[in-house]
Amino acid sequence: GGAIPFHGTSMGSINNYHAENTYQVVDNLSLYRGAHILKMGVDLRRYQINDFRAPQSIRGEFTFDDRLSGFSYANFLLGYPSFARRTIPRPAVYPRSWQFGAYFQDDINVSPWLTINLGLRYDLHTPWVEQYDRMFTFDPRTGNLVTAGSSLPTDLIPEVIESLTVIPATEAGFPERSLYESDRNNWSPRVGIAIRPFKDATTVIRAGYGLYTQIWPGLMALRATGGPWESNQDFILPDEDVASIQFPNPFTTTSEFSGIQTISGLSSYFPNERTQQWNISVGRQIWDMALDVGYVGTRAMNIPYNEDLNLLPPGAEPFDPARRRFPRFNAVNLTQTGGSSIYHGLNIHVDRDFANGVAFDVNYTWAKALTDVDLRSWSATPQQNQYQRHLEKGDDPNIRRQQLRFSYIWELPFGRGRRYGSGLPVWADQVLGGWQLNGITTLVTGQLLSPAFSSTDPANTNQFGGRPDRVGDGNLDSGSMRDRIKAGLPIFDAGSFAVPEGGRGWYGNSARNILTGPGEALWNIVVAKNWDVANERARLQFRWELFNAFNRPNFANPSTNIESGTFGIVTRAGAARSMLFGLRLDY
């Protein structure tokens, strides 16, 4: 005992083939009638996905432990695995879909100082279907697998359909080919207004509102393939004294199909994701600059999320797999809609076009976004408490609270034809003139993070870990964060959290993303020297590029597991300063 098992797969690369085709017919028409600028158009698209995958375990995956010979590496040399698996891959699949869009827009020039924009768009995206009806889903009403079509396919894995109930879509009452309903209510109005309140070109007020429709992603179609068309064939060592699984052919003994231990499906009611956007801004020309201050709001609805139908609700009764709703499966992941998010942002934009050797662009954003789902992956695992989804609403970790980005170009005013040294001789101008400083600077506050623990199952759901109990703020003084990082001290307060007691019947009470990690300040600078050559028909430039020019450590996020000895301690940083020298010829 005590030997480390060996794991391995057969030699050979994974064979994946994925190709997508989009065929599009589009037509737009513009009409000018008095004060009206009318625009209308149609857009028709045909989507085709062609996907084939063969995992490496199609030729075998093996585990060697210390049974039989007493030493796992000896078993490896003898060719005596204790476990073998080969995958029966699903056939190649060919999802297909149509998208139709039409719009009408009217820009009304009410006066030289007032413009109104009105528009309406309609979108219809047909549900994905597979060319040979190789799509499946899960019916939560009956616990059956459902395949597309009016009859059961003939190419399903026999061992799977012998152990699980599989029925065609028409018998289950699902849409025959797509397995989910078409969403035809996708009307999207738009309205906008622009006013020059002082009847001049120096100030403008803009406001607008729009409703937008997101199409169903192709990943949704691929997620509905596989199922009873693929499985893993497992060969398990029944007697530790008999090498019943042997090379050169380890797949000859009695096997058992692992079946579909975790099943996935798509809700038959799956409306398109809809997004509302609104904004108001005030623009003003000040000296040689354009200043724009605006508010932007966005609300998304019908965001897909994943729910495990086999996850027991929290309670005082100890976990028992027999109490699962569908005991034949481990997890039953049903993707459905109902998630939401909302974003509010203050934007300040200052822009100066190139003049007198200077140009710059500055953008500042102060924002807050709340969501109850993962906006980066709709197929992500469920959040902590799917039975009380309002408790999952919290800050979106992808949105930084404050961001400042500015870029600039400065041609130094030295040399012939410049403010200083305009009378320099040619030889001196070749050294002192033509210098230029460019740069892009990014300043952002830290990412929002969630505290975590990993040791107990407080809610009796067989979920070990989650978010802990919160008894304090958890964030230490942000002003001293960099000093604490350099001193090797935690930037979060471990005393503000407690590991929930196992089996108590409810989850930890901490909200999502209540900790703020280290911010970032990145200066990328270019110092350049320009020479006019060939009678000013070409320009030679020497460039000295500095990335992270001031070599400032931009620290990574620390561990947020309160049971870890490194909780809140930052151990990594981003790239140090790097430099690049180059010559460039423009002609």
**Given this model, what pLDDT does residue 9 score?**
44
Of 7-16, 100-109, 247-256, 381-390, the one with minimum mean pLDDT is 7-16
**Given this model, what pLDDT does residue 256 score?**
59
CA distance linking residue 548 with residue 579, whole number of Å: 9
pLDDT at residue 96 greater than cutoff 90: yes
Q: How far does CA 220 lie from the centroid of its chain?
A: 15
Residue 501 is classified by DSSP as: P
Write down the mean pLDDT value for the chain. 90
pLDDT at residue 327 greater than cutoff 90: no
Which helix (H) or strand (E) segment holds residue 98: the answer is: strand 95-111
Mean pLDDT of 543-550: 97
In single-letter form, the type of residue at position 288 comes to D
**Model pTM?**
0.86
Rg (CA), the chain: 31
Do the Cβ atoms of 206 and 192 come closer than 8 Å?
Answer: yes
Half-sphere exposure (CA, 13 Å, Cβ side) for 551?
Answer: 3
Mean pLDDT of 207-229: 91
Residue 372 is classified by DSSP as: S
Please give the share of the chain, as a percent, with pLDDT higher than 90.
66
pLDDT at residue 377 greater than cutoff 90: no
pLDDT at residue 13 greater than cutoff 80: no
């309205």: which residue's tokens? 191
The winner for highest mean pLDDT among 39-43, 67-71, 248-252, 390-394 is 39-43
Do the Cβ atoms of 56 and 10 come closer than 8 Å?
Answer: yes
CA distance linking residue 328 with residue 108, whole number of Å: 63
pLDDT band at 566 (very low <50, low <70, confident <90, very high): very high
Residue 582 Cα distances to 411, 522, 530, 537, angstroms: 19, 22, 12, 21
**Given this model, what pLDDT does residue 571 score?**
94
CA distance linking residue 514 with residue 528, whole number of Å: 44
Mean pLDDT of 553-571: 96
Both tokens of 32, joined, read 């000018």
Q: Are strands 6-9 and 61-64 parallel, antiparallel or unpaired?
A: antiparallel
pLDDT at residue 245 greater than cutoff 90: no
Greater model confidence, 279 or 247: 279
Mean pLDDT of 408-427: 87
**Given this model, what pLDDT does residue 253 score?**
57
pLDDT at residue 388 greater than cutoff 80: yes
User: Is 562 exposed, middle or buried, given 0-12, 13-18 or 19+ CB atoms closer than 10 A?
Assistant: buried
**Given this model, what pLDDT does residue 16 score?**
78
pLDDT in tens, 439-450: 999 999 999 999
CA distance linking residue 276 with residue 496, whole number of Å: 38
Burial 433-459 (b: 16+ CB within 10 A, else e): bbbbebbebebbbbbbbbbbbeebbbb
pLDDT at residue 197 greater than cutoff 90: yes
Mean pLDDT of 67-80: 87
Greater model confidence, 213 or 242: 213
For residue 247, give the nearest of 59, 3, 87 by alpha carbon: 59
**Given this model, what pLDDT does residue 378 score?**
63
Mean pLDDT of 291-303: 96
Residue 506 Cα distances to 382, 461, 471, 581, angstroms: 17, 9, 16, 60
The winner for highest mean pLDDT among 225-234, 331-340, 418-427, 569-578 is 569-578
For residue 140, give the nearest of 171, 172, 168, 163 by alpha carbon: 172
For residue 141, give the nearest of 269, 303, 273 by alpha carbon: 269
Mean pLDDT of 458-472: 95
CA distance linking residue 404 with residue 362, whole number of Å: 7
Do the Cβ atoms of 459 and 386 come closer than 8 Å?
Answer: no
Of 9-18, 175-184, 199-208, the one with minimum mean pLDDT is 9-18
Do the Cβ atoms of 149 and 228 come closer than 8 Å?
Answer: no
pLDDT at residue 367 greater than cutoff 90: yes
CA distance linking residue 518 with residue 484, whole number of Å: 11
**Given this model, what pLDDT does residue 10 score?**
42
CA distance linking residue 37 with residue 196, whole number of Å: 19
pLDDT at residue 84 greater than cutoff 90: no
């499966």: which residue's tokens? 329
pLDDT at residue 254 greater than cutoff 60: no
**Given this model, what pLDDT does residue 4 score?**
45
